[in-house]
Amino acid sequence: MKTTLRQLALTRQLLSTQQNIATGLAGTLQTIQQLGYVQIDTISVVERAHHHVLWNRVPGYEHGHLNQLVQQKKIFEYWFHAAAYLPVEDYRFALPQMFEVRKGTTRYFGRGDAGLMREILAKIQAEGKISSRQIDAKHKNKQGTWWNSGPARRAFEHLFMQGDLMICERQGMEKFYDLSERCLPEGLNLNMPSMDEYAEYLFKTVQRAHGVFSWKQLIHLKSGQPIRDAMRQLIHEKLSTGEIQEIQLDRGQKLYVDAVGMEQMAERRNSSPQRGEYTDVKILSPFDNLIIHRERLNTLFDFDYKMECYVPADKRIFGYFSLPVLAENELVGRMDCKAHRAEKRLEVISLHLQTEIRQHDVFWTQLAKALTKFAVFNQCAQVDVQHIAGLAQHLYRS
């Protein structure tokens, strides 16, 4: 049962070996629409999470594709459970949070100075977009104006979170802000969703992107009794119509499963790689959509994962930024890497694998191939595995 559930989850996440999706720009858009969001993160030990997630799924992915899609008004930046790129057709489902920020009733985001926000909007209205570098600029003559102050940064963030400003472009991690009305496509539905519509959106996003999901995953970081009541009613309806099934695993964990997806997995079962073949290996981001819901990940993949970059160095087990290693339908280990870009060297600091997989030569060969590709993605010409006994010989053959 778990093998089939894992295959369904990986297929919906576009990580299955048997999938064909569009390449390049079209594939990037298709992937964001399928996943519902791609998280943006600033940690740059290896290539940043949003690029890493898309590179693992989209043949021919290029960093500039995200900017192109933003400029084409097909995706936008906002807060999902964290900063993320989302399909622009989902913009209306960000409106409830924008409304809460505007009212000041959310506990997650502080308020900016009202007068300063009016001045910022007037400046952008008259002069056009402004960059985060301009906001952060420091004037040695101490005659700088509002855009280089701490209060200005809070005001910009508040205007962004309440929907008056949008990020219309990025250059690296530098953001350019413009008025939302200039960044949204004409004819976009901007009606505030009802609670039932919002619950349906959350449900459909998780169902489409994962196929196998839990209650906690459906309401992740969503507070308030109304959304819980609406989601419970929706689940009852979906169970009644047979669109989803409820299953209980050996240890008593309860999951919901997309019924059509399970039928498709049954049809594909005979042509899928058998457990233990390990003919495809992927190095995932800690912020990958497959990984992000830790409890569900442990339930489905028996993989207890924790990011240790926020853990004191002397208490880390697997490393500062350990990357999950996916082999076929299994998460088989963690690899701590660092891209030394000036030296064009990708360093593998540590590798922790499940005991049984260490005996599979095919896995080591595929891991070496994956590392070589990952190094190129990180703009590195050399893979440094001196700390990992036995991996070098496979790397030289790949």
Q: Tell me which of 278 and 326 has the higher pLDDT.
A: 326
Q: What is the percent of the chain where pLDDT is above 90?
A: 71
Nearest residue to 327 (alpha-carbon basis) of 8, 4, 16:
16
334-339 mean pLDDT? 96
Res 364 pLDDT > 70: yes
373-396 mean pLDDT? 86
Query: Which of 78-87, 195-204, 208-217, 358-367 is least confident?
Result: 358-367
pLDDT digits (tens, 9 = 90+) for 166-191: 999 998 878 999 999 999 999 999 99
**Cα 77–111–142 angle (5° rounding)?**
95
Res 388 pLDDT > 50: yes
- Phi first, then psi: give them for residue 336, nearest 5 degrees: -95, 120
Name the band, by pLDDT with cuts 50, 70 and 90, for residue 160.
Answer: very high
- Give the other-Cβ count within 10 Å of 132's Cβ: 18
Q: Cα separation of 201 and 122, whole Å?
A: 34
Res 220 pLDDT > 50: yes
- Phi first, then psi: give them for residue 41, nearest 5 degrees: -140, 150
Kind and range of the H or E run holding 382: strand 382-384
Q: Are 350 and 336 in contact (CB under 8 A)?
A: yes
> Which are the contacts of 288, defined by CB distance < 8 A and separation ≥ 6?
49, 52, 53, 56, 324
Q: Parallel, antiparallel, or unpaired: how do β-strands 75-79 and 83-87 relate?
A: antiparallel
Q: Tell me which of 300 and 252 has the higher pLDDT.
A: 300
Res 146 pLDDT > 60: no
- Give the other-Cβ count within 10 Å of 242's Cβ: 9
Name the band, by pLDDT with cuts 50, 70 and 90, for residue 359.
Answer: confident
Res 380 pLDDT > 80: yes
pLDDT at 142: 44
Q: What is the pTM of this model?
A: 0.92
Residue 364, amino acid: W
- The CATH class for the domain spanning 281-397 reads alpha beta
SS3 state at 243: coil
> Which are the contacts of 187, defined by CB distance < 8 A and separation ≥ 6?
none
Name the band, by pLDDT with cuts 50, 70 and 90, for residue 118.
Answer: very high
Name the band, by pLDDT with cuts 50, 70 and 90, for residue 268.
Answer: confident
- Positive/negative CA dihedral, 295, 298, 301, 304: positive
- Phi first, then psi: give them for residue 17, nearest 5 degrees: -75, -15
Placement of tokens 């720009």 in the chain: 25
Q: Cα separation of 55 and 370, whole Å?
A: 12
Name the band, by pLDDT with cuts 50, 70 and 90, for residue 18.
Answer: low
Q: Cα separation of 260 and 239, whole Å?
A: 13
Q: Tell me which of 392 and 318 has the higher pLDDT.
A: 318
Res 108 pLDDT > 70: no
User: The sheet that has 165-171: what strands, in order across it?
Assistant: 130-131, 174-179, 165-171
Write down the domain spans for the chain: 14-183, 281-397
Res 143 pLDDT > 90: no
pLDDT at 396: 62
- Phi first, then psi: give them for residue 111, nearest 5 degrees: -100, 145
What is the average pLDDT value for the chain, to the nearest integer?
90
